Amino acid sequence: MANIKTRKEKAEKSKKIAEAALHLFEIKSFSDISMAEIAKKAGVAKGTLFNYFETKESIFMELLLIGYQEYFSTLIQLFADKKILTIGEFKKVLLDETRFLVQEQIVLVRLNALRGPVLEGRANINQTLAGRKKLNDIVIQLGQTIASKLENITPQDASHLFIIQSAIISGLLNMANLEEFNHQSLKQEFNAFQFNLEEEAVKAFEFYLHGFLVQIKLTE
């Protein structure tokens, strides 16, 4: 029992540290957040922080993986609660969720945009691998749930769409807000690069979705 309690306490401490980092990331850029600042926000000693996460990148990689685990888990429940879907209903859910990610989960999208160019360079590979395995299992379950509700789509095709959706949003995010640099206004307009992230993400994903569904011969 003692070991179980210790593991629980460690998990709670780890979660507290990650939540502190997330709160900072909501108002600051990744480069402006230090390990010392995260430790102070979490109410732990800096040395204690390093007992849980060896680098700042490890903390934010965990936030990214947990964030998507939780998000995809909510989608599993959303589709599980539905009866048999029409292709029109399925497309509406996908596009509604695209808007939701931009409106309500923009911090998660920002984290996803950092994954390849920033986080993977110094994140702990073992922690990342464990998190990715959990995420992979959840994505597989999501695809299976959708395939059970929508005729003529495979679990692989269904789950694939959400990966592309996230990639589109994160890619567009990297091209948005060019009037800012590191969260500071450049006080100069770049009209050629101005666009509405939400609308363009929906438009791009809808275009991809149409071609994808035609390719697999799943149309209204």
- Work out the average pLDDT over 102-129: 95
Q: What is the pLDDT of residue 1?
A: 47
pLDDT mean across residues, the chain: 91
Domain 55-215, CATH among 1.10.357.10, 1.10.30.50, 3.40.50.300, 3.20.20.140: 1.10.357.10
195/192 Cα distance (integer angstroms): 9
Question: Tell me, what's the pLDDT at 174?
Answer: 85
What's the per-residue H, E or C state across 114-144?
A: HCCCCHHHCCCHHHHHHHHHHHHHHHHHHHH
Sketch the domain layout of the chain as residue ranges.
Answer: 1-53, 55-215
Q: Which CATH number fits domain 1-53: 3.40.50.10490, 3.40.50.1970, 1.10.10.60, 3.40.50.200?
A: 1.10.10.60
For residue 116 the two structure tokens come to 């390849």
Q: What is the pLDDT of residues 121-147, one digit of tens each?
A: 999 999 999 999 999 999 999 999 999
With 0.85 as the threshold, say if the pTM is over it.
yes
